[in-house]
A and B are shown apart, each in its own frame.
Chain A
């Protein structure tokens, strides 16, 4: 009996190892494929867009939650909208304010706007998280959310850059965009006004901008790859 069991066990172990190995291969992040190398798991542009849009939706949700929480704490007696709008550091970035304007905008411009926004919010959110973490008045829940928000902005920026590369590769958009290296150039017009902002205002501004990002990405996707979900 044992003699029969041993080869069976070894075969079984071999199968398990093969399955695990294949799984691992799949789970491991696929290397950046250039020009469709063999063995690369290439994502389609539509899938990339979907991922990015989901990410932006998640980011906007978190920003909304945090903003609501801050409203509970700070209870603005008056509507802060009028006052705040002047102080957002991203106000200088020209963004389409309506669907038609966004649809009329060129793909490259729209993409650039998205990227500008994401770049502009990287540092402020990180510092916001630091201030929340060090301040014991805020719960861990808020602190964790701020950290998540900060990470998401960075992830989303990378994702959008990948989408841009893909689009450039596919020839959808021209090379007018600077690519990764242009992020620094995008930062230039955005001054360091955000350091002067208070936390609540910062959250309000970010909530607004995350909504913009989400909408713009959706419009972009439906213009470029309109299949399923548009």
Chain B
């Protein structure tokens, strides 16, 4: 068998480009097409069977027109049912069509037939390729009785499906099973030219999907034997068209049902959500833990209990917040006015200011024990709050640099006159040990000549002037009750400080030193005697309120100071209490002037035993409720 393949392969390579798929039966036409140049001899055009029981053959004389007359050519066939078969003549002629018909008795399926043409003078025109077997030349008739039915219109109303059904060709014995036929349905838009072919199938009905409404379609069918290649003719076409069908009666209730259904579902969902709101909120939005500060209850802030909050903030409770100066009290408002002689002050203070400014710039903050310049003398220029610093200068001090020029007349304070007079009385209380770094100002409005870089504003006059507090202003009690009250209020704030008792003890000692006429705390105090009594008593109309510095720091000094108090007290000129460099605005009084905190008490240089107080770190905060106590 190998010898077959090599030539076969060659042939395949040679002829692979050509489409030679052909059955023996169809060899009739090919040869004739190729041999065009040669004169066309009589030949058979086609032999076809329609039902696998009979078949027909047609011939043509070719170019030999003299043989075109009927009877000039005779058809002979050979049926090879045995090696001894012979050529026989056509059983039935149809000369009009030049056709030879073989009926059932002369038709044998699966047997090769060969056809031959013979002329009158025994010229035989035979081609070996004109042999065939009947089953290979079968071309079934087209189906009949085509019709179509509308299956379904799409919901959009744009396309529809159609079922096409037909009958098998009557000539084919499908019922008897002799022929098994496959059908091929083709359809097209009537306006187009391309046919759409569906798949071959043996049933007598076919569904066509996706036809468009409004377009007229043409359908025709052809058939062939199963597993054979030759198709029959196409059937007659049928036309189908579907116009717009307003089928709202079916869709309208559907849409209504959908709408109501969705609405009902939404209502149910909403009911569920509403009833389970809490749970859903917990699931969807879990509560975020709020920040908490240890020791502070946020509710206090909300309810405005600032007093307690302040207490907490100031370290009243264990673990309370650390403020800048937890030792400072804020219960005794005081304002100190310090006035400096212009003549001497200017000349001196200029230098001093410069020096102090420079010192202040360069030198690091140092405790109070540093040298300070204390002005011990103060003169009250202004009836209200003019203080002349005494000529008592102590060691330099950092705070002295903060030569704050006090605004001599705190304007707008009617009650200040009294206070001033009181203050004038109390000026001796000024510490001579310390030079208030604050410059007292003359009666003129404030001069900022000797102003230090940092100072604290004691008060803002209604006229607009600013009353600066000396750096070393001491705070003194204004009155015992006031101080006591202040002490009490202070004690409220400072639980931890055991100074309350000490302060209270000191209070009567400081009684004479109270400077604040109106309850505003002019607490001028030397470091020798430190006043730690707060005077938080509300000062009627007091423009100046000071908060006593926290007693903690001055505690050790306070004791010492207390001893000295009576000693110093009568002798000591009124000194402007050194004003701290920084003070805190306590509040705005009714006249919209700033009320400053008193500066912290600083230890005077002649009292070296005393530990230096904290310098001007007057971080004395006043809380609103303290202000409430302070205000009239």
A interface residues with partner B (beta carbon < 8 Å) = 53, 57, 60-61, 64, 68, 71-75, 78-82, 84-86, 95, 97-100, 103, 131, 135, 137, 198-200, 208, 211-212, 214-215, 218-219, 221-222, 229-230
Residues of B within 8 A of A71 (CB): 20-22
Residues of B within 8 A of A98 (CB): 53, 104, 107-109
Residues of A within 8 A of B2 (CB): 135
Residues of A within 8 A of B131 (CB): 79, 81-82
Residues of A within 8 A of B35 (CB): none
Q: Lowest 3 A-B CB distances belong to which pairs?
A: A218-B177, A97-B108, A79-B129
CB distance from B202 to the nearest CB of A (A): 9
B11 touching A212, Cβ below 8 Å:
no
**Binary flags per residue of B15-30, CB closer than 8 Å to A gives 1, else 0:** 1100011101001000
Residues of A within 8 A of B83 (CB): 86
B81 touching A97, Cβ below 8 Å:
yes
A-B contact pairs, 29 of them (CB 8 A): A57-B226, A60-B227, A72-B12, A73-B8, A73-B9, A75-B12, A75-B15, A79-B24, A79-B27, A79-B129, A81-B24, A81-B114, A81-B133, A85-B111, A98-B108, A99-B104, A99-B173, A100-B104, A103-B176, A135-B5, A137-B5, A198-B1, A211-B110, A212-B110, A215-B109, A218-B180, A222-B177, A230-B175, A230-B176
Chain B: interface residue total (CB-CB under 8 A): 45
The CA of A198 and the CA of B24, in the complex, are separated in Å by 18
**Contact status of A81 and B112, CB under 8 A, knowing A73-B8, A135-B2, A137-B5:** yes
Beta-carbon nearest neighbor of A57 in chain B: B226
B21 touching A72, Cβ below 8 Å:
yes
Beta-carbon nearest neighbor of B14 in chain A: A75
A73 touching B12, Cβ below 8 Å:
yes
Contact of A221 among B104, B108, B177, B228 (CB under 8 A): B177
**Contact status of A215 and B227, CB under 8 A, knowing A71-B21, A79-B128, A80-B24:** no
Please provide the chain B residues from 202 to 259 with a CB less than 8 Å away from any CB of chain A in the complex. Answer: 226-229
A208 touching B133, Cβ below 8 Å:
yes
The CA of A95 and the CA of B110, in the complex, are separated in Å by 9
Residues of A within 8 A of B107 (CB): 98
B178 in the interface (beta carbon within 8 A): yes
The CA of A86 and the CA of B104, in the complex, are separated in Å by 24
CB distance from B506 to the nearest CB of A (A): 75
Beta-carbon nearest neighbor of B51 in chain A: A99
Beta-carbon nearest neighbor of A219 in chain B: B177
CB distance from A204 to the nearest CB of B (A): 9
Please provide the chain B residues from 75 to 112 with a CB less than 8 Å away from any CB of chain A in the complex. Answer: 80-81, 83, 104, 107-112
A99 touching B112, Cβ below 8 Å:
no
A85 touching B129, Cβ below 8 Å:
no
B11 touching A222, Cβ below 8 Å:
no
CB distance from A209 to the nearest CB of B (A): 8
Residues of A within 8 A of B396 (CB): none
A215 touching B1, Cβ below 8 Å:
no
The CA of A149 and the CA of B430, in the complex, are separated in Å by 130
Beta-carbon nearest neighbor of B54 in chain A: A98
Residues of A within 8 A of B227 (CB): 57, 60-61, 64, 211
The CA of A198 and the CA of B1, in the complex, are separated in Å by 6
Residues of B within 8 A of A131 (CB): 1
The CA of A100 and the CA of B53, in the complex, are separated in Å by 9
B4 in the interface (beta carbon within 8 A): yes
A99 touching B12, Cβ below 8 Å:
no
CB distance from A149 to the nearest CB of B (A): 13
Beta-carbon nearest neighbor of B3 in chain A: A198
Residues of B within 8 A of A137 (CB): 5, 8-9
Beta-carbon nearest neighbor of B12 in chain A: A73
Residues of A within 8 A of B80 (CB): 82, 85-86
B129 touching A78, Cβ below 8 Å:
yes
B11 touching A199, Cβ below 8 Å:
no
The CA of A103 and the CA of B108, in the complex, are separated in Å by 14
CB distance from B28 to the nearest CB of A (A): 10
The CA of A72 and the CA of B176, in the complex, are separated in Å by 34
The CA of A222 and the CA of B52, in the complex, are separated in Å by 17
CB distance from A169 to the nearest CB of B (A): 23
A222 touching B176, Cβ below 8 Å:
yes
Residues of A within 8 A of B332 (CB): none
Residues of B within 8 A of A100 (CB): 53, 104
**Contact status of A211 and B135, CB under 8 A, knowing A71-B21, A71-B22, A79-B24:** yes
B226 touching A97, Cβ below 8 Å:
no
A103-B176, A212-B109 given; 9 more Cβ-contact pairs under 8 Å: A64-B229, A71-B21, A82-B128, A98-B108, A208-B110, A208-B135, A211-B227, A221-B177, A222-B177
Beta-carbon nearest neighbor of A102 in chain B: B178
A82 touching B11, Cβ below 8 Å:
no
Residues of A within 8 A of B52 (CB): 99
Residues of B within 8 A of A64 (CB): 227-229
The CA of A229 and the CA of B16, in the complex, are separated in Å by 42
Beta-carbon nearest neighbor of A128 in chain B: B1
The CA of A218 and the CA of B181, in the complex, are separated in Å by 13
Beta-carbon nearest neighbor of B228 in chain A: A64
Contact of B4 among A82, A200, A211 (CB under 8 A): A200
Residues of A within 8 A of B516 (CB): none
Residues of B within 8 A of A230 (CB): 175-177
B226 touching A61, Cβ below 8 Å:
yes
B177 touching A97, Cβ below 8 Å:
no
B454 in the interface (beta carbon within 8 A): no
B561 in the interface (beta carbon within 8 A): no
Residues of A within 8 A of B16 (CB): 72
Beta-carbon nearest neighbor of B2 in chain A: A135
CB distance from A129 to the nearest CB of B (A): 13
Residues of A within 8 A of B135 (CB): 208, 211
CB distance from A75 to the nearest CB of B (A): 5
B12 touching A97, Cβ below 8 Å:
no
B385 in the interface (beta carbon within 8 A): no
CB distance from A154 to the nearest CB of B (A): 20
The CA of A74 and the CA of B1, in the complex, are separated in Å by 13
Q: Name the residue in A68, A73, A84 with the highest tally of chain B Cβ atoms < 10 Å from its Cβ.
A: A73
The CA of A218 and the CA of B179, in the complex, are separated in Å by 9
Residues of B within 8 A of A103 (CB): 176
Residues of B within 8 A of A212 (CB): 109-110
Residues of A within 8 A of B178 (CB): 99, 215, 218-219
**Contact status of A74 and B129, CB under 8 A, knowing A211-B110, A211-B135, A222-B177:** no
**Binary flags per residue of B40-55, CB closer than 8 Å to A gives 1, else 0:** 0000000000001100
Residues of B within 8 A of A135 (CB): 1-2, 5
Beta-carbon nearest neighbor of A135 in chain B: B5
Beta-carbon nearest neighbor of B135 in chain A: A211
The CA of A68 and the CA of B228, in the complex, are separated in Å by 11
